[in-house]
């Protein structure tokens, strides 16, 4: 694993886009699989509001604290119901129609859109005893705030978004998304069913420097390239775990928009996966936050759960298990050597030394530029060929 001193690419935090083929399942797991870091003096917050409750989470698998907070839930006789999903349009729609969720992922690339649509509620950070230990570059980010400066998400993980591949079957990984348009890659990779990442990176490859702002002519050129990309793909993946399983089984060799955590998941099955970066999308990284949806049935318990999620002890485990950066500065010494691969100077200052960008157009675009709805319509046309 290479130690990241800068971010060579944003290949998808969204990294970022699991599908709401959202397999909803009870994941009230026991402590099995939970990493045990060194003891840290716990800060106090009233958790009795969670006694006997079930919290419903919607978002990226692995970011709900399933393993990391198993003992926390057990002590409080709590359960966790999880819907794995990061098709953000569908996630927003699910909350807007009134589906009850107590917790959700809030990715930096979609945070402002989710805040603007009112699907997440303000978080009272004064109640979070671990809030002040969150690194400044994330804690003070405008991305998790509305225009009035109110906070709507609590950062729980950060990093970059590589491609992930089978080291056995891909001795020399691609360095540009354009390589995946060639016949040599037909049927060998997966991707998420979402236009954000492929459109963004294909636009970069075409030299469109204002992306995610695209004129309609530029969008048409991107769409033409995307048709070849989708035809070459073996399938759309439904989650990072799904993509990992496909590579472990030998069905595919690579995934676009991966996550370092996938290398750890495959390693448990004695399969070696590697990661590297495409040249498109240089200059940034991602961070995911956890939010309380507007439909939350148990918002006070959700707040207590979030506070535990950002405690030093839990963050040390989260960063180790997800191969991500910890958001609590006190957690860094607790991360395993294998997972401690990030340069924390990038996020410790109030102005982070890393650019967190969006793959999608802003809520309001200048005249002559395509909106997110235009991107979605173009993506629908891409998929029908």
Residue extents of the structural domains in the chain:
24-159+285-353, 163-276
pLDDT of 32: 33
**pLDDT tier for residue 2 given thresholds of 50, 70 and 90:** very low
Cα–Cα nearest to 267, from 312, 316, 321 = 321
What DSSP designation does 293 have?
B
Higher-scoring residue by pLDDT: 351, 289: 289
Q: Are residues 288 and 105 in contact, defined by beta-carbon separation less than 8 angstroms? A: yes
pLDDT of 43: 53
Higher-scoring residue by pLDDT: 109, 331: 331
Integer angstrom CA distances of residue 127 from 131, 133, 300: 8, 13, 10
Residue 38 pLDDT greater than 60, yes or no: no
Q: First and final CA of the chain: distance in angstroms?
A: 38
Q: Mean pLDDT, to the nearest integer, of 181-191?
A: 98
pLDDT of 12: 37
Q: At what angle do helices 372-384 and 196-205 cross, to 10 degrees?
A: 90
Q: Enumerate the β-bridge partners of residue 65.
A: none
Q: Does 212 sit behind a cis peptide bond, omega within 30 degrees of 0 on the bond before it? A: yes
pLDDT of 283: 56
Q: Are residues 309 and 55 in contact, defined by beta-carbon separation less than 8 angstroms? A: no
Q: Are residues 57 and 212 in contact, defined by beta-carbon separation less than 8 angstroms? A: no
- pTM, whole model, 2 decimals? 0.73
Q: Convert the pLDDT of each residue in 187-235 to its tens digit.
A: 999 999 989 899 999 999 999 999 999 999 999 999 999 999 999 999 9
pLDDT of 40: 42
Q: At what angle do helices 196-205 and 216-232 cross, to 10 degrees?
A: 110
pLDDT of 281: 62
**pLDDT tier for residue 62 given thresholds of 50, 70 and 90:** confident
What whole-number percentage of the chain has pLDDT above 70?
Answer: 88
CATH 1.10.3720.10 fits 163-276, yes or no: no
Residue 305 pLDDT greater than 90, yes or no: yes
Residue 291 pLDDT greater than 60, yes or no: yes
Which stretch of 10-14, 52-56, 139-143 has the lowest confidence by average pLDDT? Answer: 10-14
Residue 8 pLDDT greater than 70, yes or no: no
Please name the helix (run of DSSP H) or strand (run of DSSP E) that holds residue 249, with its range, or none. helix 240-249
pLDDT of 27: 43
CA distance linking residue 31 with residue 212, whole number of Å: 42
Integer angstrom CA distances of residue 21 from 58, 76, 84, 151, 191: 12, 30, 8, 30, 14
The separation between CA 285 and the C-alpha centre of its own chain, rounded to angstroms, equals 11
Q: Mean pLDDT, to the nearest integer, of 90-113?
A: 94
Q: Mean pLDDT, to the nearest integer, of 133-162?
A: 94
Q: Which residues contact 89 (CB under 8 A, 6 or more apart)?
A: 376
Q: Mean pLDDT, to the nearest integer, of 34-53?
A: 68
Residue 380 pLDDT greater than 70, yes or no: yes
Residue 86 pLDDT greater than 80, yes or no: no
Q: Which residues contact 348 (CB under 8 A, 6 or more apart)?
A: 135, 136, 137, 329
Residue 34 pLDDT greater than 80, yes or no: no
Q: Convert the pLDDT of each residue in 231-283 to its tens digit.
A: 999 999 988 889 999 999 999 999 998 888 888 889 999 999 999 989 996 65
Question: HEC string of 179-244?
Answer: HHHCHHHCCCEEEECCCHHHHHHHHHHCCCCCCCCCEHHHHHHHHHHHHHHHHHCCEEECCHHHHH
Q: Which CATH class is domain 24-159+285-353?
A: alpha beta
Q: Enumerate the β-bridge partners of residue 24.
A: 83
Q: Is the dihedral of CA 249, 253, 258, 262 positive or negative?
A: positive
Residue 6 pLDDT greater than 50, yes or no: no
The residue whose two tokens read 């926390």 is: 72
pLDDT of 9: 35
pLDDT of 11: 35
What is the overall mean pLDDT for the chain?
Answer: 87
Cα–Cα nearest to 309, from 65, 70, 137 = 65
CA distance linking residue 349 with residue 77, whole number of Å: 39
Tokens for 191, please give them: 């991707």
Judge if 24-159+285-353 and 163-276 fold alike in CATH terms.
yes
């Amino acid at each position: 694993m290479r130690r990241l001193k800068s971010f060579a690419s944003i290949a998808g935090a969204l990294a970022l886009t699991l599908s709401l083929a959202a397999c909803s399942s009870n994941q009230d797991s026991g402590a099995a699989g939970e990493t045990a870091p060194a003891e840290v003096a716990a800060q106090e917050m009233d958790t009795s509001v969670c006694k006997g409750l079930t919290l419903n989470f919607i978002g990226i698998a692995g970011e709900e604290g399933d393993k990391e907070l198993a003992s926390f839930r057990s002590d409080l006789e709590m359960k966790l119901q999880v819907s794995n999903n990061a098709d953000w349009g569908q996630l927003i729609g699910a909350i807007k129609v009134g589906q009850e969720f107590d917790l959700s992922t809030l990715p930096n690339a979609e945070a402002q859109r989710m805040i603007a649509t009112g699907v997440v509620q303000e978080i009272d950070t004064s109640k979070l005893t671990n809030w002040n230990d969150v690194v400044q570059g994330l804690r003070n980010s405008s991305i998790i705030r509305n225009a009035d400066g109110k906070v709507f998400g609590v950062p729980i993980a950060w990093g970059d978004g590589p491609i992930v591949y089978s080291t056995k079957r891909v001795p020399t990984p691609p360095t540009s998304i354009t390589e995946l348009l060639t016949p040599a890659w037909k049927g060998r990779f997966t991707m998420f069913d979402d236009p954000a990442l492929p459109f963004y990176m294909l636009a970069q490859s075409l030299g469109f420097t204002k992306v995610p702002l695209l004129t309609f002519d530029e969008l048409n050129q991107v769409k033409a390239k995307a048709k070849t990309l989708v035809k070459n793909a073996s399938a759309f993946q439904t989650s990072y775990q799904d993509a990992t399983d496909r590579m472990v089984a030998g069905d595919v060799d690579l995934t676009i928009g991966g996550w370092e955590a996938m290398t750890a998941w495959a390693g448990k099955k004695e399969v070696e996966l590697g990661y590297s970066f495409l040249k498109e999308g240089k200059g940034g990284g991602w961070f995911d936050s956890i939010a309380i949806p507007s439909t939350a049935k148990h918002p006070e318990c959700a707040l207590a759960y979030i506070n535990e999620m950002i405690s030093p002890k839990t963050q040390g485990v989260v960063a180790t298990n997800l191969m991500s950066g910890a958001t609590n500065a006190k957690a860094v010494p607790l991360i395993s050597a294998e997972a401690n691969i990030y340069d924390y100077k990038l996020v410790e200052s109030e102005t982070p030394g890393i650019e967190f960008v969006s793959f999608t157009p802003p809520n309001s675009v200048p005249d002559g530029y395509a909106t997110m709805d235009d991107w979605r319509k173009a993506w629908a046309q891409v998929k029908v060929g």
